[in-house]
Amino acid sequence: MIRCTNVTRTFISGDSEVRALQDVSFEVSDGTLTVLKGRSGSGKTTLINLMGALDEPTSGSIFYDSTDITTLRDTGRDRLRRETIGFMFQSVALVSLMSAYENVDFGLRVAGYPRAERKERVLECLRLVGLASRMKHMPQELSGGEQQRVAIARAIAHKPRVIFADEPTAELDSKTALAVAGIFRDLVDKEHMTIVMSTHDMSLLDIADQVIELENGIRL
Ligand SMILES: Nc1ncnc2c1ncn2[C@@H]1O[C@H](COP(=O)(O)OP(=O)(O)O)[C@@H](O)[C@H]1O
Ligand SMILES: [Mg+2]
């Protein structure tokens, strides 16, 4: 279980202060899909960066079970990110000179996954996102939705406890966006993954177990 309690993040730029998040509290149960909803500038990316240990709150706590990750040192945070978390961002960040297979494998190598187990895991993940037949294709030979599915395979490959996806469907047409969101739903239902996804697309809210709505950094 992941729990945010009174999370506040203030950015100082010049002599002005932006309160990107203010006193945000909620829980994410294991094996559920949480959608963070809100307009541009509402604080979604800030919240995902904090929950994913990429940034630290100005005040408040973020618990993974009983561990408050805001108290971890850099090495502890690095380890948490590497072993426990999978990330996906709005723009697909596949390596253009690597095939779909190599992109997923690369993630596993970075995570230090044993060589002997890599091949099977890469294929399993590409199968889970319905792309096993495209494993030799280069990113530019794949559609935007297919590239995002490779990015999902890469994010889940090291079996993270939680996946944070920041507007993963923002650059897709609405039909493809629904299909990608459907893969998240399946991963939660069939693989018992825990996923936190942000979106400003209202049509994706139906698939969520929980919707957290933000407006100007405040949870509604
Ligand atoms: N590094 C930063 N420095 C200053 N302000 C920031 C920074 N990151 C985000 N903000 C501000 O915090 C608010 C929330 O931003 P963000 O979390 O990116 O929203 P969203 O992802 O919902 O579009 C915005 O007003 C944004 O301008
Ligand atoms: Mg954002």
Q: Which residue has the higher pLDDT, 34 or 200?
A: 34
The Cβ of residue 72 has, within 10 Å, a number of other Cβ atoms equal to: 16
Burial of 192 (0-12, 13-18, 19+ CB in 10 A): exposed
For residue 45, the model assigns a pLDDT of: 97
For residue 203, the model assigns a pLDDT of: 87
pLDDT at 101 over 90: yes
Rounded to the nearest integer, the mean pLDDT of the chain is 94
The residue-averaged pLDDT of 175-183 equals 91
d(CA 125, CA 98): 17
For residue 46 and ligand 1, the question of a CB distance below 6 A is answered with: yes
Q: How far is the CA of 165 from the centre of ligand 2 (A)?
A: 10
State pTM to two decimals.
Answer: 0.94
Which residues, at least 6 apart from 162, have a Cβ–Cβ distance to it below 8 Å?
A: 2, 28, 84, 85, 86, 193, 194, 195, 196
The residue-averaged pLDDT of 27-39 equals 97
The domains of the chain are located at 2-214
2-214 has CATH 3.40.50.300 classification:
yes
pLDDT, tens digit (0-9, with 9 covering 90-100), for 48-96: 999 999 999 999 999 999 999 999 999 999 999 988 999 998 876 899 9
Nearest CA to ligand 1 atom 3: 11
Q: How far is the CA of 40 from the centre of ligand 2 (A)?
A: 6
**Paired strand residues for 149:** none
The alpha carbon of 179 is separated from its chain's Cα centroid by a whole number of angstroms, namely 17
For residue 91, the model assigns a pLDDT of: 77
